[in-house]
Structure 1
Amino acid sequence: MHTWLYGHYRAFSKLLCWDPSLQAPYHASPLEIAAKLGINENSATAFWRHLHKTTPENMYANLVETGIQVLPLFHPLYPPLLKTIYDPPYLLYAKGNIKRLQTKKIAICGTRTPTAYGRAALATIAKPISEHSLTIVSGMARGIDGLAHEQAIRTGGATIAVLGSGFDNIYPPEHSTLFHALAEHQLLLSEYPPFVKPQRWHFPVRNRIISGLSQAVIIIEAKRKSGSLITADLALEQGRDVFAVPGPVTSAQSEGTNWLISQGAGCLYASEALFEAMPQLLSKTGESQSF
């Protein structure tokens, strides 16, 4: 069943939004499923047959046993900011400390091959973010993303990782230890069911969730053409503030961040620059506050 669902996880997500217990779609007719999913009756019949190869109780029990919580769009814990983006995920799979969703969040993204300067800049910028009880959001990728999560953990802060795969497929594999640390004390999120493997196109799509969760996005080291700049573009489309750490003009890893600053992104020349530009981040209220 998992193999078949892999190509239909968006439809499956819609069914979970219809009824998280899956009882309603399980007892629905193919015609009713077709109407709910906006597909033809033949496709709905095939979906119905595969849905009935197990039971809703078994499917739900498997999620619960592995510590996974499913948050449909209407769930009270679904992040309010994420609902406001153009294409919010129908549902989120969550693993870990769900209370992290109720905090104010700052996204930190950057190159997969940071320089010594980039690593030092990350430590300088991330430390006060954690000290002010803001949650660091990133994508658990190699480089700046993984280091941002590790920095938050090291300083006793909070962090959320948004994955480009399901929880059964840790990517990159060398972040297995980080993954389990995040699952135990922090929070992992994915719009993909647990069995979904990482695909190249998942990651730029995933980036809209990273920016959508956050009050602001910080880019630390990025080449002129990089996934981090995709995240910055998505953040701007979503009405989020974008900041970049300036770097040496001789460094290819700083071409993207320096370009962002030239285009109007906030210049994080020092750790306090973020709070000077966005003093509302220092208020004690949660993420639902306007920003």
Structure 2
Amino acid sequence: MHDVDPGEVDAWLRLVTTPRVGRAAARRLLAAFGSAEAIFAASPAARRAVAGEALGAALSRPPPSHAHLVARTLDWLAAPPPGSPRALIPLGDPRYPTLLLEAGDPPLLLHAEGRHDLLQARAIAMVGSRHATPQGLAHATDFARQLAAAGHTVVSGLAAGVDGAAHEGALPHAASTVAVVGTGLDLVYPRPHKALAERIRHQGLIVSEYPLGTEPRSPHFPQRNRIIAGLSRGTLVVEAALASGSLITARLAADAGREVFAIPGSIHSPQSRGCHALLKQGAKLVETVEDVLEEVDGFAREPRPPVAAAPAPAGERDPVLAALGHDPIGLDTLASRTGEPAQVLNARLLELEIEGRIARLPGQRFQRLGSP
């Protein structure tokens, strides 16, 4: 659909929005008739022969508000902002991503805005908790930056937490980032990511299978996860609770024969339990970006020349940092470890927080940031 054909746009939108016609039935119809336009040009009897009585009847008339959706979509395609081309990319289009086609249940139609070349890029998915810890956000940003610098496009879902951090880390690099969203591309969810979405439109790519005007609904997000996994050669889970969409993405990646990676965390953190569950199930434990690259690129670590030992940083000698360790702990525990009164500790913790060396977590807990 390189040149916008109103009749083709009409047919594809009618196919994907007709009630009760799911993706499997639509693929049967496409296989039988050859194109979306041919489906609706065929006789009702021919459609019923392929799809059955109920679906044949549903396909006999356009869905409510169909003409409005077609007009809205044609207007959207005709007036992209400078530097952010728009397209509808259906099954069979040369631009349709090959990896996604090879995964289970590929979407029938993609709405895309931005760098369409990224649909064929070497890509790694990065997903994780919407309520990530400061360390999780730092991991997401840093791993995304390193993956993109190594030539891998980072695919994520524009959600709060890990997703947003992953997009931010990858965006400045040529490999950039792809955001797969659960709304129409004329909407942004969550709203605080409006500026980030705008940057991705111009420096990366935003993709959705949902028609314009589609509001965020809970079922859409597990559905979009299969696209995140399908576009990618592997999926890296940064932080995840046991019941999370990130684990759905990881399972879909494994089902598609793709690599699954997980970053371990504290045994006391609920946001680490999903990653630990994946590791028990055979995901690859990741400590550095090389752990990912060696799987997806056959990257081999080269021996590094020995270097003189550097003096220990000041933080290593700080008794409060030493007492914090690397798991989140409360003020009472810290006071018992250091022997310092609470008011003295609070003053020092504030200094460390301002210096960016610790994070203050909910429940008056504190966590050291950075590598040990």
Q: TM-score, normalised by structure 1?
A: 0.83
| Number of residue-to-residue matches in the alignment | 277
Contact 1:104 1:281 in 2 (8 A): no
Matches of 1:11 and 1:136 in 2, distance apart? 32
Q: 1:275 to 1:200 in 2, by over 3 A?
A: same
> Secondary structure of 1:277's match?
helix
Equivalent residue, structure 2, for 1:221: 239
Equivalent residue, structure 2, for 1:277: 295
Contact 2:151 2:174 in 1 (8 A): no
Instruction: Give 1:107 deviation, angstroms.
Output: 0.1
Is it true that 1:69 corresponds to 2:87 in the alignment? yes
Q: CA RMSD in A?
A: 3.1
Equivalent residue, structure 2, for 1:8: 18
> Secondary structure of 1:276's match?
helix
> Secondary structure of 2:171's match?
helix
Equivalent residue, structure 1, for 2:117: 99
Is it true that 1:193 corresponds to 2:211 in the alignment? yes
Instruction: Give 1:37 deviation, angstroms.
Output: 5.8
Instruction: Give 1:30 deviation, angstroms.
Output: 4.7
Matches of 2:217 and 2:64 in 1, distance apart? 27
Aligned residue type for 1:95: E
Q: CA offsets, 1:173-228, max 9 Å, x none?
A: 11111111111221011111112111100100110110011000000010111110
Aligned residue type for 2:144: A
Matches of 1:92 and 1:252 in 2, distance apart? 35
Matches of 1:181 and 1:94 in 2, distance apart? 14
Equivalent residue, structure 2, for 1:287: none
Equivalent position to 2:141, from 104, 110, 123: 123
Contact 1:109 1:144 in 2 (8 A): yes
Asked which structure has the greater RCO (Cα within 8 Å, sep 6+), the reply is: 1
Q: 1:251 to 1:89 in 2, by over 3 A?
A: same
Matches of 2:89 and 2:19 in 1, distance apart? 15
Instruction: Give 1:44 deviation, angstroms.
Output: 2.7
Q: 1:198 to 1:37 in 2, by over 3 A?
A: farther
> Secondary structure of 2:202's match?
helix
Equivalent residue, structure 1, for 2:348: none
> Secondary structure of 1:272's match?
helix
Is it true that 1:111 corresponds to 2:129 in the alignment? yes
Q: 1:63 to 1:36 in 2, by over 3 A?
A: farther
> Secondary structure of 1:95's match?
strand
| Unaligned 5+ runs, structure 1 | 283-291
Q: CA offsets, 1:143-182, max 9 Å, x none?
A: 1011111111245541000011111221111111111111
Map 1:1-291 → 2, pairs under 5 A: 8=18, 11=21, 14=26, 24=38, 30-31=44-45, 39-47=54-62, 53=67, 58=71, 61-67=74-80, 68-155=86-173, 157-280=175-298
Equivalent residue, structure 1, for 2:314: none
> Secondary structure of 2:60's match?
helix
Matches of 1:88 and 1:222 in 2, distance apart? 25
Q: CA offsets, 1:11-37, max 9 Å, x none?
A: 5985997788x7656655555555676
Q: 1:80 to 1:41 in 2, by over 3 A?
A: closer
Q: TM-score, normalised by structure 2?
A: 0.66
Deviates more, 1:61-70 or 1:135-144: 61-70
Contact 1:106 1:217 in 2 (8 A): yes
Matches of 1:148 and 1:154 in 2, distance apart? 11
Contact 1:34 1:40 in 2 (8 A): yes
Q: 1:36 to 1:92 in 2, by over 3 A?
A: farther
> Secondary structure of 1:222's match?
coil
> Secondary structure of 2:59's match?
helix
